[in-house]
């Protein structure tokens, strides 16, 4: 059975303090690993898709990387507006997504 585990469950950082969020997965034939950002009371907002080990993608202060077993979301010099829950998901079959529990990130000014 496909599984996605995210760690830590919650993370508090000071503004400017870089860190990484982890997403470990087990899937039979990875068709895509997705990162989303979710603000309270809102739906997830798409950030990145990664398809193969070694792939990296960047957007502003965020960089996502992928290995055969896990993905990291690196956040560099974060700002308070980066505070959100970050969700990782793997594609199961043609289109279905299996989500991890998320990491609640808080950036203190």
Partner 1 sequence: GAVVSQHPSRVICKSGTSVKIECRSLDFQATTMFWYRQFPKQSLMLMATSNEGSKATYEQGVEKDKFLINHASLTLSTLTVTSAHPEDSSFYICSARNTASSNQPQHFGDGTRLSIL
Using CB under 8 A as the binding rule, whether residue 46 contacts partner 1 is answered as yes
Any residues with CB less than 8 A from the CB of 97 and at least 6 apart, and which? 34, 89, 90, 91
Instruction: Please classify residue 63 by burial: count the beta carbons closer than 10 Å to its beta carbon, then call 0-12 exposed, 13-18 middle and 19+ buried.
Output: middle
Instruction: Find the shortest distance in angstroms from Cβ 49 to partner 1.
Output: 5
Establish if 97 lies at the interface with partner 1 (CB under 8 A). yes
For partner 1, which stretch binds (CB under 8 A), given 19-27, 41-49, 61-69, 71-79?
A: 41-49
Binding segment for partner 1 (CB under 8 A), chosen from 15-23, 53-61, 70-78, 100-108, is 100-108
Distance CA 93, CA 98 (A): 10
Decide if residue 43 touches partner 1 (CB under 8 A): yes
- Indicate the Cα dihedral angle 40, 46, 52, 56, nearest 10°: -90
Please give the residue ranges that form the binding site for partner 1 (CB under 8 A). Answer: 32, 34, 36, 41-46, 49, 51, 87, 95-102, 104
């Amino acid at each position: 059975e496909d599984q996605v585990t995210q760690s830590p469950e919650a993370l508090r950082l000071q503004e400017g303090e870089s860190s990484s969020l982890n997403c470990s997965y087990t899937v039979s034939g990875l068709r895509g690993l997705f990162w989303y950002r979710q603000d309270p009371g809102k739906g997830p907002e798409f950030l990145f898709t990664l398809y193969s080990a070694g792939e990296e993608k960047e957007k502003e202060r965020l960089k996502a990387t992928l290995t055969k077993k896990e993905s990291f979301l690196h956040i560099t010099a974060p700002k308070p507006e980066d505070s959100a829950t970050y969700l990782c998901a793997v594609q199961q079959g043609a289109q279905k997504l299996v989500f991890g529990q998320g990491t609640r990130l808080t950036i203190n000014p």
